[in-house]
Structures are given as C-alpha cells and as structure tokens.
Amino acid sequence: MNLSDAELSQIYEKTKVSSASPALATCKTLIHILETDNSSTLQEFSVKITKVIESLESIEPLIEVESLSEIFLRFITLTVAEYQLIDEVREALKKRGNLFLEKVVNCSQKIVKYGHPFIYEGSNILVHSYSPVVLDTLLFVKNLGKRFCVYVTKSAPDNSGEKMYNQLKSHDIQCSLILDAAIGHFIEKVDMVMVGADGVVENGGIINKIGTYPLALCAKAFNKPLYVLAESYKFIRHYPLNQADIPQPIRGTDKRVRRKSGTVDDFCPLVDYTPPKYITLLHTDLGTLTTAAVSDVLIQLYL
C-alpha cells in the first residue's frame, strides 16, 4: 500500500481525534500502515515505513513524533531475523507493533507510580503549561487524600496553562493561574517544580514548552527541586548544547507573535532546551532516573 502525503495526513488527523497525544496518534498511524502493508520483501517494507516516518515528521514536526517513530521502528524490527517467510515477518511486525502500543498507553500509569511519592502533604507545586502526565500524577495524589496547592503558569503564547488550571479546578484541587513573568515572585512560595517534556535528549536535558528553561533557572537560583515527568518513548538521540541547536522544525514558531517593530522574521519559538544541570530527577515509566542515566537508557532503547 503506497500512500501519498495527503492520504497519510488524512489517516493521521483522523487517528489524532481519538488519541490523547501526537505520539499516540503517530503510534496508531504506524500500526495502521503495518496492518495494511503488502510488501513482498523486508527491504521493501523498510523503505516504505521509513518514508512514512519522514512524512509524519513533516506533518507534525514535534520531537515526540520523531522520537516515538524511531523507537517504534527499532522495537518492531528487533526480532524479524528469526523469520524467513514474508508472511511470518508481517505477522511478527503487527504483533510487535501492538505490543509497543500497549506500552505507550500504559506509560502514564507507570510514571504516576514513580512520581507521586515526591508530592507530600501540604506541598506547594509550580507547574508549567499543560502536561497530561503531570495532571494524572496530581489527580492520583488528590485521590490519596493528600492536600496540596498548585501554581500554574499561563504559558504564552497559546496560554495552554489555562487548560491545566481548568482541569485542576474541575477536580477541586487548590490552584492559581499565574503570569509567566511572575515565576520569580511565586518560586519563593513553592516546594518544587514539576514539568512534562516534549523530548528528553542524550545528556538528560529536556526540550519542552517555551518558558521551561527560565523556570528551571529560577528554580535553581532558589534551590527548589525540578522534577520532569516524561515517557521513555520521548527519549531521543539529540545532543543540543544551546537553544540554537534545537532543529528548526522542532523549535516551531508562532506567527501570531511578532516583534513590536512589525518584522516577520523573528517569531516566537514554541519550545526551549533545559540543560541537565537544572533538573533534579526524571520520573519515567522505566523508573526514577538521574540525568546522567539517560544516555544508558537510550543505548538500551536503540540496541
């Protein structure tokens, strides 16, 4: 089955409607390709799936789409050498694909298990933007009967923190929505900072919603722990040294945000890079990790 970019985009967008994240939508789309594939050789399949992944990364230029695609391809092809007939290979790929999807779906539940003990009774927590896994962790702690307070950054330019704030309010969790520029004021009041991640890079740093880096700088200055909650399928073989090293498609821009001068060549980036020295621990579905352990995990994921 050879799909045009337009057809693939249509499949992805349809899948995205019923998915909790772009990564999950990507995984389901790749499984759809597996289930409809009619390649006559493994080499033909490899060429086809590689082109599909490149197209998906173009359709949704997010680091989690790139990282999941790479790990997905590595995972499903791990055991194909055991089979000789293409029909056997095809069935093995489908089985591995669905096993990977199951792992993706269960990631959040495992992260909550490792992350929730770090939130203690009476905690004041500062969170940034909207993160489903951070939200799941806070809801779990609430259901345990612990009392805590959450400060949520508004998270310009898309104000995604409002979604987080509304979700917390709907579950009767004490919370306040604050301006991004007010983190220096509120950091004194909190006990910890908790953020999600769009991607976790080789040195243990993260790429996440714009504003995460200054928040991490502020937390470090006030000696507040910064915990990152991230799925292992977001681990990726990138090694940025600064903000300029974030690939342009992943960095993204928001054309609605322009400089006062009115020029159109300097749009607001949508993500930034936070170096590992500002991160206390990463809570992942593989366990709670130090930033130094990320490179070892990546080696295992890509073996």
Confidence of residue 65 (pLDDT cuts 50, 70, 90): very high
* CATH entry 1.20.120.1070 includes domain 5-106: yes
Asked whether the beta carbons of 58 and 5 are under 8 A apart, the reply is yes
CA distances from 106 to 24, 113, 128, 144, 189 (A): 11, 11, 23, 20, 34
* CATH entry 3.40.50.10470 includes domain 119-302: yes
What does the angle CA 230 – CA 152 – CA 266 come to, to the nearest 5 degrees?
Answer: 80
pLDDT at 249 over 80: no
Average model confidence (pLDDT) for the chain?
89
Query: What pLDDT, in 10s, does the model give residues 205-246?
Result: 999 999 999 999 999 999 999 999 999 999 998 899 899 888
> Structure pTM?
0.89
Secondary structure (H, E, C), the chain: CCCCHHHHHHHHHHHHHCCCCHHHHHHHHHHHHHHHCCCCCHHHHHHHHHHHHHHHHHHCCCHHHHHHHHHHHHHHCCCHHHCCCHHHHHHHHHHHHHHHHHHHHHHHHHHHHHHHHHCCCCEEEEECCCCHHHHHHHHHHHHCCCCEEEEEECCCCCCCHHHHHHHHHHCCCEEEEECHHHHHHHHHHCCEEEECCCEECCCCCEEEECCHHHHHHHHHHCCCCEEEECCHHHECCCCCCCHHHCCHHHHCEECCCCCCCCCCCCCEECEEEECHHHCCEEEECCEEECHHHHHHHHHHHHC
Nearest Cα neighbor of 152 from 168, 136, 137, 139 is 168
Instruction: Name the region of 155 (left: φ>0; alpha: ψ -120 to 50; beta: rest).
Output: left
pLDDT at 262 over 50: no
Domain boundaries, the chain: 5-106, 119-302
Mean per-residue pLDDT, 5-10: 87
Give the pLDDT of residue 85: 80
